[in-house]
A and B are shown apart, each in its own frame.
Chain A
């Protein structure tokens, strides 16, 4: 122990100066801090875009390869894909190439108190090359941010191919709704595409000083794939980017069909039994406790979560409810955010201005009872009907929801050789007939893999081969 100038041991001297009260206060405070790590590190497997590989970019480095169950079937493969389970040896993006970029498409727009944490703007994840290279925009799926595993994996695959990457949150993510949506009610492809194109142009303006861009490419996953198709179509008229390649990964063919399919994954259980979600959660946590009890350490590690997943990998009902519930939470996030931004008076009174201290528990409970169709038909479309200046009306005989389909821009997709798509034969968001329609629109530019559910083939060799071929140089 080093000695201070007066010959008294430093810590004791420090104590003398500060007194015993401080000492006791510190004695309480430091271990409180210590236990924080154990406490706050909660997994949120179903909370929108979070996952066991939660946390910011830097934390993903050195992540051990997760041990996920190896079962097959569209549900298991969909969940495994969403957890990033197919990718074992993807090269890391060096810290120096990683950054988070913020754009403010509407800098003068006030951000409600409740959403103060979005006031810095829309966050984009950027992977930069240090030599001239293409720039690929990646659009995330429903309710997801640029940090969600699926788009992170796609981004890393592209980075490994020598490309610059910008990952954009889904227009249905609350941050996008608050900061970058002109209408506040995402779901209408034409307005979403305009919002996305605006964000991309702002991102390019910021990046052009830092990287040398040779050409532009566009990739979208799930709902983001449908967005990518409409952005491609919009750009073919506006010529802002002239994308050399557009790749759609697991796109819905008709949003209307996909909504029905995903909504029903939870609905079919809750209609029979209102307590279905409660029982589901009890079952899952009981399984969790069982796996955790056998774990050699008390850390709630991803292994425990994945072990629980393995335990239930043959319970079709539980897997289906997990996907349905996780989707439902994304919908609740979106619907409530839209309600606050549009003052529609659906979840809270139109004149309410909730602050950070207001309880949102009741709103969340109600929100979880609502489907994506409820959002579209009960909030988004009525709001747009009241504000005809925001969006061009649907052609006679069609609704705006029906307009959200690949067939709407069918001629463009059919004639444009730079657009390609990958999907899986058993994709759970495709209704009977959807695959056939996609084939008729895209022809041999559609690659159909035999399995993988929704997004569960990403990172598999057959997927990577098709993807690398489509994305070009």
Chain B
């Protein structure tokens, strides 16, 4: 009885806390500006299925893709077991599905989960060594120093603990059942692991305690994990789905059009035009200085980023030692957004994304080549943030690198980025 009460309280508390935190994250994302991402629902759905559900882009790099796929499948299939955990928890039963007509199916499902769990255990160790022993370059860049590295390792540690608890639960159950009836459950892994680890314990009560420790430990890890997600890069396991659904479906080369500018330029070209009524959208400042100047999709991108660094590893600027790292752009955006969140969604704290987080040097190193956008496994677009920040620098603050000022002046004066007269445009036709 007490356990049912404790279980219920823990569940409500954990789900409640998670919901509360998610609401604040969604409120932060809603600070972003409008952008149309609801057209072509079938194409969007297909993109989500391929990229998030099917992990299509992950498979450009087969080894991490395979390791990650093990995690992913194990995570999804384990949710079936979680259903039983909740029923057992609320009703006080023990392995309720085992005691039904579907016993064989149950053993099969738990066995599948066990095999996947063992594979996940191995994958976790592989991931851990890639980060900490092999030291893959993209996991050892300066933007990952401190909390991001701890965050990544913490998630791996949670994963290991979770699996250890699952096998403590199943193994002790197997050993206990064997001890009492000579016939175990027959779970694929714990029918061997159980006797191996707990076979020498001849006391069914101790085995029951061990099984309970496994069960509660497992449950606790699930609750910890759930509530850790919103604070971690690991939020991608949820946000990958909406983030790919709301992907940019245009050609990557197309930059967003600033309609407010179109209005003004049209008036300049034709003074007889009657200006359309100014709406609140058109009076906004040009470009982005802070997170609330970005679109909500940029902000969703920031929360969907799992800091894998594929973007940075293909960035021509980063490869050649420049200050720019597209991953850092996303991490900075998220960090600043969280800061604004703590500030009751108020951006007026004297700080801003541009300047305090992202420097001009980083922005001017970008070649707009779209390699980062292409590479992201969950369709994050760091380039659109870079462009919006550049727009603010240039149009609001007139901070343009001096050579570019010359280029822009030439375009304005003679319609070419260099100082040539339009009259000379046909010279090539006279040459051989």
A and B, one complex?
Answer: no
A contact set with B: CB distance below 8 Å? none
